[in-house]
């Protein structure tokens, strides 16, 4: 994977990424900063590496993400598609006001379940497990 600092944080241009694995087969990706054109391709490469580990659930916490371009949204869609092919699910958590507005304007809230917290997303997923 990409070089991480001592705290497990990866800097991709204006985007900061941190990953946690709270449960087996669950990955939480914390995104901060902005996802512009340059960051989109770098983030997609990074997320593809995460998806190849075939997590059952990938949660993206967007609470610290201040800005996302259409290419950034494309990164989310592509990641969701690749994960779905492996039987996984992508959930979004706590988007900032601006990011939520962009998701709503583009109708992506119909494609991506949006939750208020990581805990709520985890619970929703657990409720669906047999």
Domain assignment of residue 88, yes or no: yes
Spell out the residues 6+ positions from residue 36 whose beta carbon is closer than 8 angstroms to its own. Answer: 13, 14, 67, 69, 71, 72
Closest by CA to 17, choosing from 78, 75, 80, 57, is 75
Domain assignment of residue 3, yes or no: no
Task: Measure Cα distances from 99 to 5, 25, 113 in Å.
Answer: 27, 27, 14
Which CATH number does the domain housing residue 86 bear?
3.30.750.24
User: Structural domain of residue 119, as residue ranges?
Assistant: 9-128
What are the tens digits of pLDDT across the range 66-97? 999 999 999 999 999 999 999 999 999 999 99
Report the alpha-carbon angle 69-29-98, nearest 5.
Answer: 35
What are the tens digits of pLDDT across the range 10-54? 999 999 999 999 888 999 999 999 999 999 999 999 999 999 998
Domain assignment of residue 1, yes or no: no
């Amino acid at each position: 994977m990409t070089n991480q600092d001592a705290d497990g944080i990866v800097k991709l241009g204006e985007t900061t990424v941190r990953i946690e694995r709270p449960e087996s087969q669950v990955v939480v990706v914390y995104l901060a900063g902005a996802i512009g054109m340059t960051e989109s391709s770098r983030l997609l490469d990074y997320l593809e590496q995460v998806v190849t580990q075939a997590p059952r659930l990938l949660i993206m916490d967007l609470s610290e993400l201040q800005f996302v371009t259409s290419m950034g949204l494309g990164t989310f869609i592509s990641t969701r598609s690749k994960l779905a092919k492996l039987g996984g699910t992508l959930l979004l958590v706590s988007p900032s006001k601006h990011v939520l507005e962009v998701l709503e304007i583009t109708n992506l809230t119909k494609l991506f379940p949006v939750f208020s917290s990581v805990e709520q997303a985890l619970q929703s997923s657990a409720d669906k497990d047999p």
